[in-house]
């Protein structure tokens, strides 16, 4: 999916790896604060930012406490995230 590895929790995308970056699904309410952090950028697949999804550069998460920070943000939002609509076969 999206050319990388995706981790799903409760049938919802939580986080993933795309190339050399961590893809994180974050609460849209903290999205702006997230993209202000070092090494964090908007996720643009269609040329437009996807609100609630960010990329984090690999060098930012090379320390366990930094990776844990982003994992915790994703896990905290997951219960509030909406599931994608299932496609009909």
Domains in the chain: ranges and CATH:
5-80 (3.90.1150.30)
- The dihedrals phi and psi of 10, each to the nearest 5 degrees, come to 55, 40
Q: pTM above the 0.75 mark?
A: yes
Q: What pLDDT digit, counting tens, does each position of 22-81 carry?
A: 999 999 999 999 999 999 999 987 788 888 999 999 999 999 999 999 999 999 999 999
Tell me what pLDDT residue 1 has: 46
DSSP structure string for 45-80: SSSSEEEEEEEEEGGGG-SHHHHHHHHHHHHHHGGG
Tell me what pLDDT residue 3 has: 67
Tell me what pLDDT residue 45 has: 73
Tell me what pLDDT residue 33 has: 96
Tell me what pLDDT residue 2 has: 55
């Amino acid at each position: 999916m999206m050319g990388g590895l995706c981790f799903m929790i409760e049938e919802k995308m939580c986080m993933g790896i795309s190339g050399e970056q961590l893809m994180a699904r974050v609460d849209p309410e903290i999205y702006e604060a997230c993209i202000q952090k070092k090494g964090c950028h908007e996720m643009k697949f269609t040329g437009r930012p996807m609100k609630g999804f960010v990329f984090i550069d690999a060098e930012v998460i090379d320390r366990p406490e930094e990776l844990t920070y982003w994992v915790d943000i994703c896990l905290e939002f997951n219960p509030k995230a909406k599931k994608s609509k299932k496609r009909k076969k």
